[in-house]
A and B are shown apart, each in its own frame.
Chain A
C-alpha cells in the first residue's frame, strides 16, 4: 500500500470537502429554518465565482495584481452573492411561504434553471480561465506536493469562516433569533422576532458562504462556467444530508466525509465515476440512516 499516495488523496479530499462544507452550510441553514431545499443555492455559488472573475478581470487589466485583486474581487463577489440570495428569497420563496411543500421546491428548481441560463446568456456558455490570484508561498515548497498554496488559503479561509459562523449563531442577537425561528417559527414570532428578517438574513449568510466557496474553488480549479453551480449544489446538498440536514456541525462533517470519499474513490477506482461515488453514498446514507450522521430522528407529529 502506497501511503504517500493515500496521504495525497486525503489532503485533496479535505480541501474539496471543506469547499463542499461551505456550500452545504447555506443549504442546511435555510432548510433548518423554512424546510426548503434551496435548489438555486448552487447558482448563487456560481454567480459569486463569476462576479469575482469579472472584477478580477477588470482589475488585472487596469494594472493591479496579486492579493489586492483577490481581496477586492472576493469582497464584490460576496456583496453580489448576498444581493442575489436576498432577491431570490423575496421573489421565488416568500410568496410561497404557506403553500404546499411541493410548490416552493418547484419554484426553487425554476429559479435555478433561470439563473443558470441568465448567466449563460449574459456571459458565455464556454469555460472561462479564472486568473491565478494566489501566488505560491515559499514556505510551502517542501509540502507543495500534498498541499498547494491555494489549498492552504482554502483551508485557512474555510476554518476562519466556520468559526465566525459559529460565533455569529451562538452569541449574536441575530444568531439567537435564527435559532429561535428554527425551533418554532410561530413562537418566535410571538416573542417578537421579526421572522421575515431572520429568513432574509439566513439567505444572505448562506449566499455569502457560497460565494466564498465559489471564489476559492474557482481559483483552485482555474476555470469557471455557467453550469458549475448545478453539480456543486447537488454535491453540497448531499453533504448536508450526509451530516443531517438542519445541523450545522453536521454539514461540515458531511462535507469532509463526502470530499474524502470522492477523492479516494476517484484515486483508487476511477476518476470518471467520481460523481457516482457521491450519489451512491447519498443513497446509502438515506437508506441506512435517513437522519444523517449527526442528525436526530424527528418524530412527525400530527
Chain B
C-alpha cells in the first residue's frame, strides 16, 4: 500500500516534470501552440508502473544483499549457465564448434541469388562486434574509460581511404597499416594522458574524438571535408572480378576471421601476465603498483591494443561501405560501443559479442524502434549500472584452487 501511494506520487511528479517538454510544442513559424495532453496521461501511467516495479526491484536487491551478508560462509556459489558452460571443456567446445559452423554457413542460410541485404547487415554488426571486443580490452579488462574510441576507428578508415586513393595501395596492404596507424595514434595520445585518473581520461578521450571529427570535417584538401571520400575499392580477391553478392560474402568472411582472431587474442591475453596486470590495475591501482606492475606500460599496452583493433576494423569498414565521411564517427557511435561493453559485461567476451549483435541487429530489423534506439540505450546504461553492474554475462575468471589440509583449518563459522 505504501508502495502504491509512493508510486502514485512519483507518477504525479513525472507528469509535472514532463509537462512543458512532452505536452507543449511551440511552432514559431505559424505562431501556433500545440497541446498534446494525451502524452501527459501516458507519462503518468508509465511512471506509476515503472515506479512500482522500481521499488520492488530495489527492495529485492537490498534483500538479496542482506541475505548474502548474513550468510557469512557462502557454501556453494550458484553458478550461472555461462559459468557452467565454461567450466565444462567438452560442452564448451561443442557449443563453440556449433557457433562456428553456423557462422560459416550463415551467408548461404540467409541469402539466395542477388538478395544479399542480410549479409551486409551482418557485416556491419560484426564490424561493431570487433569494435566492442577491442574496447573491451581497454575498458573491460584494464578499466580505462575511453569515450573517444571511434576516433581510432576513423583513423583506420581514413588510412585505407587515403592510401588507396593517393598511392593506389591494395586492401591487404592497408589492413595492417590501418591497425598500426590506430595503434600509433593510441600511443601518441596515450603517453601524456595515461597518468590521469579515470574520469579525466574519459573527458580527454572524448575531446580527442571531437578534435578528430572537427579536423576531418574542416581539412577538406586532405580528408575531403564533410563530403568524405567516395569510391574506396572493395577488398580484392586474387585479382578475380566478384559480383555484388560475392563481394559481400567475401567481406563477411574477412570480418568473421577478424572476429575469430580477436576472440582468440583477447582470451589468450586475458590469462596472460599482461592481462592479469590489466585486471589488477582495474581493481586497485595503488595495490597493483605496489606489487611491482609497471603502470604506464601496462596502461599504454591496453590502450594501444584497443586502438589497434579499431584501426584494423576501420579499414574493413571503409572497404565495405566504399564511402566514408565524418558522420560515421560521432560520439553516439562511441557511446554505442561503450554500451555494448557495459551491457555485455565488462571483460566478458561472450557477453560483448551477444550485446554487440543485439544492439546492431535489433534496430536494423525493428525499424519502428530505430527512432527510440538511443533513448533506450541511455536508459539501459543507467539501469544496468544500478541493477546488474556485471552485465548480461559475468566476466568469468579463471579459478585457481588449492586443497587445504583437513583438520587444521577452522574458519570459526560455527
Within 8 A of A (CB), among B19-60: 20-22, 24-26, 28, 31-33, 39, 58
Q: Are A276 and B211 in contact (CB under 8 A)?
A: yes
Which residue of chain B lies nearest to A287 when distances are taken between CB atoms in the complex? Answer: B192
Contact between chains at B204 and A283 (CB < 8 Å): yes
Closest to A60 in B: B31
Residue numbers in A under 8 Å from B206 (CB-CB): 234
**Which residues of B188-210 are within 8 A (CB) of A?**
192-193, 195-196, 198-200, 202-204, 206-208, 210
Q: Is B371 an interface residue (CB 8 A)?
A: yes
Whether the pair B193, A105 counts as a contact (CB closer than 8 A) is: no
Within 8 A of B (CB), among A249-302: 270, 272-273, 275-276, 278-280, 282-283, 286-287, 290, 300, 302
Contact partners of A174 in chain B: CB under 8 A:
none
**Interface segment out of the listed B70-78, B89-97, B373-381:** B373-381
Closest to B18 in A: A122
Please count how many residues in chain A sit with their CB below 8 Å of the partner chain's CB atoms.
67
Q: Which one, B121-129, B163-171, B317-325, B382-390, is touching chain A?
A: B382-390
Q: In the complex, what residues of B have CB within 8 A of residue A91's CB?
A: 382
| B300 smallest CB distance to A (angstroms) | 15
For B386, the chain A residues whose CB sits under 8 A away are 92, 95-96, 107
Please indicate the chain A residues that have their CB under 8 angstroms from the CB of B25 in the complex.
54, 123-124
Q: A66 at the A/B interface (Cβ < 8 Å)? A: no
Judge whether A122 and B210 touch: CB under 8 Å.
no
Residue from A58, A83, A113 within 8 A of B381 (CB atoms): A113
Task: Tell me the minimal C-beta distance from B35 to chain A in angstroms.
Answer: 10
Number of A-B contacts (CB under 8 A): 166
Interface secondary structure of B, over-half rule: helix
B338 touches A106 (CB 8 A): yes
Q: CB-defined interface of A94-138 with B at 8 Å, one 1/0 digit per residue?
A: 011001111111110111111111110111100011010000000
What residue of chain A has the Cβ atom nearest to residue B290's Cβ? A302
> Whose C-beta in chain A lies nearest to the C-beta of B377?
A113
Q: How far is the CA of A295 from the CA of B374 in the complex (A)?
A: 37
Q: Which of A45-53, A156-164, A202-210 touches B?
A: A45-53
**Contact string against B for A residues 200-235, beta-carbon threshold 8 Å, 1 for contact and 0 otherwise:** 000000000000000000000000000000100010
Rounded to whole angstroms, the CA-CA distance of A100 and B31 in the bound complex is: 50
Partner of B210, one of A51, A103, A275, A302: A275
Structural contact, A106 and B381, CB atoms closer than 8 A: yes
Decide if B400 is an interface residue (CB 8 Å cutoff).
Answer: no
Residue of B nearest to A108 (CB): B382
Report the bound CA distance from A47 to B42 in whole Å: 21
Instruction: Determine how close the nearest CB of chain B comes to the CB of A45; give it in whole angstroms.
Output: 14
Taking the complex as formed, is B186 at the interface, i.e. its CB lies under 8 A from any CB of chain A?
no
Query: CB-CB < 8 A to B389: which residues of A?
Result: 99-100, 103
| B372 contacts chain A at the CB level, 8 A cutoff | yes
Q: How far is the CB of B307 from chain A (nearest CB, A)?
A: 17
Whether, in the assembled complex, A237 has its beta carbon less than 8 Å from a beta carbon of chain B, the answer is yes
Residues of B within 8 A of A122 (CB): 18, 21-22, 39
Identify which of residues 73-90 in chain A touch chain B, using a CB-to-CB cut-off of 8 Å. 76, 80, 83-84, 87
- B175 within 8 Å of A (CB atoms): no
- A residues less than 8 Å from B369 (CB atoms): none
B207 engages A282 (CB within 8 Å)? yes
Q: Is the CB of B33 within 8 A of A117?
A: no
Residues in B with CB closer than 8 Å to A83 are: 16-17
State whether A238 touches B203 (Cβ < 8 A): yes
- A80: chain B residues within 8 A (beta carbon): 17, 20
- A241 surroundings in chain B (CB, below 8 A): 200, 203
CB <8 Å contact, B33 and A237 = no
Residue interface bits B77-114, CB-to-A below 8 A is 1, else 0 = 00000000000000000000000000000000000000
Q: Are B20 and A282 in contact, with the CB atoms below 8 A? A: no
Please name all residues of chain B whose beta carbon is closer than 8 Å to the beta carbon of A175 when the two chains form the complex. none
* CB–CB B143/A102 < 8 A: yes
Give the Cβ gap from B139 to chain A, nearest Cβ, in Å: 8
Q: Do A105 and B378 contact each other (CB < 8 Å), given the known contacts A279-B211, A287-B192?
A: no
Contact of B215 among A47, A95, A112, A276 (CB under 8 A): A276
Query: What's the minimum C-beta distance from B121 to chain A, rounded to whole angstroms?
Result: 23
Bound-state CA distance A283–B200 (Å) is 10
Chain A residues with CB under 8 A of B17: 80, 83-84, 87
A100–B335 alpha-carbon span in the complex (Å):
20
Interface residue? B342 (CB, 8 A):
yes
Does A10 count as interface, using CB distance less than 8 angstroms? no
Contact A110 B382 (CB under 8 A): yes
Tell me if B329 counts as interface (CB < 8 A to partner A). Answer: no
Give B253 Cβ to nearest chain A Cβ, in Å: 34
Residue in contact with B377 in the complex, picked from A57, A110, A270, CB distance below 8 Å:
A110
User: B28 near A128 (CB under 8 angstroms)?
Assistant: yes
Contact between chains at A110 and B379 (CB < 8 Å): yes
A107 pairs with B214, CB closer than 8 A: no
A55 lies within 8 A of chain B by Cβ: yes
The CA-CA distance from A55 to B147 in the complex, in Å, is 35
Smallest CB-CB separation from B209: which chain A residue?
A279
Which of B32, B39, B58, B377 has most chain A Cβ within 10 Å?
A: B377
Is B296 engaged at the interface, CB distance under 8 Å to the other chain? no
Given pairs A58-B33, A287-B193, 16 additional interface contacts (CB within 8 A): A36-B199, A57-B33, A61-B33, A91-B382, A101-B198, A103-B389, A106-B381, A107-B385, A111-B382, A118-B21, A122-B22, A273-B214, A273-B215, A276-B214, A283-B192, A283-B207
* Between-chain CB contacts (< 8 Å), 25 pairs: A37-B199, A50-B21, A51-B20, A51-B21, A54-B24, A80-B20, A83-B17, A87-B17, A91-B382, A103-B389, A105-B199, A105-B202, A106-B145, A107-B381, A109-B338, A111-B382, A113-B375, A118-B21, A123-B21, A129-B28, A283-B208, A286-B192, A286-B193, A286-B200, A290-B195
List chain A positions with a Cβ less than 8 A from chain B: 36-37, 47, 50-51, 53-55, 57-58, 61, 76, 80, 83-84, 87, 91-92, 95-96, 99-107, 109-119, 121-124, 128-129, 131, 230, 234, 237-238, 241, 270, 272-273, 275-276, 278-280, 282-283, 286-287, 290, 300, 302
Residues on B lying within 8 angstroms of A by beta carbon are 13, 16-18, 20-22, 24-26, 28, 31-33, 39, 58, 143, 145, 147, 192-193, 195-196, 198-200, 202-204, 206-208, 210-211, 214-215, 217-218, 286, 331-332, 335, 338-339, 342, 371-372, 374-375, 377-382, 385-386, 389
